[in-house]
Structure 1
C-alpha cells in the first residue's frame, strides 16, 4: 500500500507541464441541487421500472450530461445515490425488494 502512494506521488511530479492527461474531477456536492438526484432517480424508476444503483448512476450522469466513461466520477455519484435512496427508503418513498449481484435494486412503490 505504501508503494502505491509512493508511485502515485512520483507520477504526480513526473506529469507534463499542462497535465492534460490527468482529468480534473468535480466536487459532486456542488454538482447537484438539493433533491435533484432523488428526482432524477425517481423519474428513471417510474419510466423504466426497477433499476439497480449502478444503472441509476448512469441515468443520473446521462441526465446531467456527464461523461459516462469516467469511472471515478461514476463511483462518486453511485455513493451519493446510495445515501439519497436509503433516506427515501426509510421514509417509504421507494422500495428495495432485492439485491442483484451484490447491488441494491430500487423501485417506486405501487
Structure 2
C-alpha cells in the first residue's frame, strides 16, 4: 500500500511523505504516536491474501491465522495487508527452521 498524502503527527510534523510505501513498521510507529488512520491508495498489483492464499496454506497455519484475525474485518485493505505480511513472515520462519513465535 502507498500513502496518498503526507502523514503528520499530532503536532503537524511530517512523519511519512506522500506516495511512500506503507510498511508494518510505519503502522506500529503511527499507533504509538496516536495516529489512527491514514489515506492509502491501491497500487494495483495487490491480491486478496485472505481469499487466494488461505487455500494454499498448511492446515495448522490456516488455523493460527484464523485465530489471529478472528475479530478483524477481512474487507479492510489494511487488515488484508497485515494478514499477507503475517503469512509471509510465518512461512519464512518455517523455511528457516525457526520455532516461529508470534
Q: Under TM normalisation by the shorter chain, which class is it? A: 0.3 to 0.5
TM-score by length of 2: 0.32
State the TM-score, normalized to the length of structure 1. Answer: 0.30
Structure of larger gyration radius: 1
Bigger helix fraction: 1
Which is bigger in relative contact order (C-alpha 8 A, separation at least 6)? 1
